[in-house]
Chains A and B, each alone.
Chain A
Amino acid sequence: MGKPIRVLVAKVGLDGHDRGAKVVAQALKDAGMEVIYTGLRQTPEQVVETALQEDVQVIGISTLSGAHLYLIPPVARLLKEKNASDILLLSGGIIPEEDHAALKEAGVAAIFGPGTSTEDIIAFINNNVS
C-alpha cells in the first residue's frame, strides 16, 4: 500500500456554509486520506500557502456565496506561479452550470454540485491522483 493521499479542504471568501466542506473532509478521512481543513474565510493566497506547506496532492474548495469566479481562478493561477499545477484542484458548493466552463478553463479538474455522493468524490480523487 502506498502513502495516503493528502487533501486540503478549503473555504474561501466570506462564506460561512461549512457543512458540505466538513462532511466531505470527514468522508475523505474515512476513505483513508489525510485531510487538512482550513476553516472559514481563507484568501486564495492562504489556501495555496497552506497547500504547499502541507504538501497536499489535492485541494478541494467549497463556496456557496456566489463569489467562485473571483476566488477560485486565483488559486489556480497561484499554483501555476509556484510550479504546483500538478495539485488536483476540485471545487464544490453552489456553482451554476454556466460558470463550469470558465472554472475548468482556469484549471479546476472537477466541480461537484449539490446532491453529489461523497463516494463519487473519493473515486474521482483516487482515479486522478497518480
Chain B
Amino acid sequence: MSNFDNSLKEKHRQWQISVESKLDKHPEAKSSYATDAGIPIARLYTPLDLTGDYEEQLGFPGEYPFTRGIQPTMYRGRLWTMRQYAGFGSAQETNERFKYLLSLGQTGLSVAFDLPTQIGYDSDHPFAMGEVGKVGVAIDSLEDMETLLDGIPLDKVSTSMTINAPAGILLAMYIAVAEKNGIEPSKLRGTIQNDILKEYIARGTYIFPPEPSMRLITDIFAYCSEHVPNWNTISISGYHIREAGSTAVQEVAFTLANAIAYVQAAIDAGLEVDQVAPRLSFFFNAHLNFFEEIAKFRSARRVWAKIMKERFQAKNPKSMMLRFHTQTAGCTLTAQQPDVNILRVAFQALSAVLGGTQSLHTNSKDEALALPSEEAVTIALRTQQVIGYEIGVTDTVDPLGGSYFIEKLTDDIEAKVWEYLNKIEEKGGAVKAISEGYQQKEIHSSAYQYQKAVESGEKVVIGVNKFQVEEAPPSGLLRVNPKVMDEQKAKLAALRRSRDNTKVESSLAQLRSAAKTGENLMPYILTAVKSYATIGEITGVLKDVFGEYQQRVSL
C-alpha cells in the first residue's frame, strides 16, 4: 500500500472516530444499513474501497469484461429499445394496441400471450376456461398470428415474444407469417423467451420434463443459427425469479446458473460455443434499491464475460457480452395510491439505464389492479422517453463507473454471485438443483423475509404501511371482453372445418416420429404450423412422446 493510501486510511479512521463520537447527540436513523440483498452499506466510501485493477475489473465499454457496457458508445450511439409488453383479448385487439404503441414512438414490439397459449392448450380446451385472452393474447393457430401481425413491418420492427415451453411453435408461426409477406427469415429480428428452467423455478408455464425441454431449446439454437441468424434464441430470465421474491444476488446467480446449463446443453448437442452464445440474451428486473440494482447489472455483465471466456473458452467477444432487456419490478407496484407507482417505475427505469440495459419495459401504474389502460401505458412509455431525451443521463457511457460505492457494490455482488454459482455447481448444476427444489426454497425464504420486513414496518412501502390514506376504489381499469373466449372457440371450430385435415394429420404424424428420434424438430413444427395445426394439437403430439412435467411442491 502506498504512502498516499496509508495517509488516507489514517485520515479516514480519524474521521470515523470523530463522527462516532457525535452519534449520541446526532444519531443516524438506523443502527445498521444494508441493501435489499443484505449487503452491508458503509457510512462512506472512499478510494480505499477500490481494490481491484482498473483494466482487469472495469476496462473499457465494448471490451472484456464489459463491466462498463457492451457497446463502445452506448446510448450516444443509439438509445435502448423502448419495448412495452402488451397483449390481451383477441389477436385483432392486440394488433390495434401494437399499432397504438408504435404511433407513440415505441421502437420494438413485445407480445404477451394468454396462459392457454403459453401452456399449449387451445382456447376450446376445458383447462382454458376463463383464461382465454386474459393475461395476454389468445393464439391458437397460424390464422391468429396472421391477424396479430397484420400491417406490422416485420422486416423493420423487432419483436419479443414471451413464450417458453411452446417457443418453437410461436417462432415457427412468426416465420410463416413473414414468408407469406415475402420477408426472408434471415431478415427477422426478435427474441423468444424460450427459458424453461426459470419456469420450473418461478414462473410456472412449463409443459414437458427438463430433458426433452432442453432438447427443444437446443433444436431452436441450431435451427436459428442456420436460418434465422438475427434472432435472439433465448432470453434467460432473472425477472420472474426476482418477482417470485428473490434478492438481487439470487436473481443474477440463478439466471447465470441457468445460462450455464443452456450453453452446456448446446455443446453436448454438438454445437460450437461461438455459434450459439452470441444469440443468447438476458432479462432482468429493475427493483427499488437504486444503487444495488445499478451494481447488479454491472456485475452480471462481468461475471458472464468471465464464465464465457474462462469456463467455455469462447473466442468471439460477442459470446462474452451479456445483452439484456429490463422490466421494472411488477411486485413493487401497490394497489394503494396507484399514482405513486409512476415514481417507483421512473426510478427503477433510471437504474436500468444507468446499468446499461439494451431494452426496457416500464410498468404501468395500474398493474397491481388490472391490465394496463391506454392512459397508463402512455405515461409508462413517456417515462422512458424523459430519461432518454430530457435528463442527460445518456450523454456519457456508464456515468456512475468509478463511484466508490457503485464499484464496491459491484464487487460485493459479484463475490456473492460466485458463491451461489459454486453451490449450484456442487449440486450438479442448475437442472439438478431445481429438481431438488433448491432455488425454489431459497427464493421462498427471501420472499417470506421481505413480507415480514414489510409487516414489521422495517421495510417502508408508501401507501401500504406508511402514509396511508382513505381512497375510493379505482376506476377506468381495463377489462378483457368476456366474449373473446366464445369468439375464439367459434374461430377454432371454423378452422378445423375449413383447413386441409389430411395435411394436418400427416404433418403431425411426421412430427411424432421425428420427436422419437434425435432429429431437429423445428422443420417439422414449421410444416405443422403451416398446415394450420393448432398449438394444442402440436403440443399434444409432443406430450404423447415426451410426457409432462410434474411440479415439485415445496414450502
Contacts and interface: CB of A to CB of B under 8 A. Distances in A.
Interface of A: 13-19, 22-23, 25-27, 29, 35, 37-41, 43, 65-71, 94, 96-98, 113-115, 117-119
Interface of A, helix, strand, loop or mixed by DSSP: loop
A41 B120 CA distance: 13
A65 B131 contact: yes
Contact of B444 (A16, A22, A114): A22
Contact of A13 (B115, B205, B245, B480): B115
A18 B451 CA distance: 14
A45 B222 CA distance: 43
B204 A65 contact: no
A23 B551 contact: no
Interface residues on B, range: 35 or more
A97 B358 CA distance: 37
B451 A23 contact: yes
Given A39-B553, A67-B130, A19 B331 contact: yes
Interface in B167-218: 199, 203-205
B334 A97 contact: no
Given A17-B204, A70-B129, A117 B115 contact: no
A113 to B, nearest CB: 6
- List of 3 A-B pairs having minimum Cβ-Cβ separation, nearest first: A16-B204, A70-B130, A67-B130
Nearest to B126: A43
Interface in B311-336: 331, 334-336
Given A67-B131, A67-B134, A19 B204 contact: no
B127 A94 contact: no
Contacts of B152: none
B477 interface: yes
16 contacts: A14-B121, A14-B127, A15-B131, A25-B555, A26-B444, A27-B448, A27-B451, A39-B551, A43-B127, A66-B371, A69-B130, A70-B130, A115-B335, A115-B336, A115-B464, A118-B455
B392 interface: no
B244 interface: yes
A26 B244 contact: no
Contact of B451 (A43, A94, A118): A118
A26 B335 CA distance: 23
Interface in B123-172: 127-131, 134-135
B354 interface: no
Nearest to B132: A67
Nearest to B205: A16
A23 B447 CA distance: 7
Contact of B204 (A15, A37, A68): A15
A115 B118 CA distance: 28
Given A19-B243, A26-B448, A117-B455, A94 B204 contact: no
Given A37-B555, A118-B455, A65 B336 contact: no
Given A70-B129, A117-B455, A22 B134 contact: no
B40 interface: no
B388 interface: no
Contact of B555 (A26, A43, A65, A115): A26
Contacts of A114: 334-335, 368-369
A94 B333 CA distance: 12
A41 to B, nearest CB: 8
B243 to A, nearest CB: 7
Q: Which of B455, B477, B480 has the most CB of A within 10 A?
A: B455
A71 B130 CA distance: 7
Contact of B480 (A22, A38, A43, A66): A66
Contacts of A69: 130
Contacts of B203: 16
A123 B503 CA distance: 60
B127 to A, nearest CB: 7
A15 to B, nearest CB: 7
Nearest to A21: B555
Contacts of A67: 129-131, 134
Nearest to A69: B130
B105 interface: no
A22 B443 CA distance: 11
B553 to A, nearest CB: 4
Contacts of B474: 97
A113 B131 contact: no
A52 B119 CA distance: 29
A97 B516 CA distance: 50
Contacts of A68: 130
Nearest to A117: B455
Contacts of B199: 16
B116 interface: yes
Contacts of B135: 15, 65-66
Contacts of B130: 13, 66-71
A38 B554 CA distance: 10
Contact of B551 (A29, A35, A40, A119): A40
A13 B127 CA distance: 7
Interface in B91-132: 115-116, 118-119, 121, 127-131
A18 B241 CA distance: 11
Contacts of B369: 94, 96, 114
Contacts of A43: 127
Contact of A94 (B370, B448, B464): B370
B518 interface: no
Contacts of A25: 555
B336 A22 contact: no
B38 interface: no
Given A15-B204, A115-B461, A115-B464, 17 more contacts: A13-B115, A13-B131, A14-B121, A16-B204, A26-B555, A35-B555, A37-B553, A39-B551, A40-B204, A65-B131, A66-B371, A67-B130, A67-B134, A70-B130, A96-B369, A96-B477, A117-B455
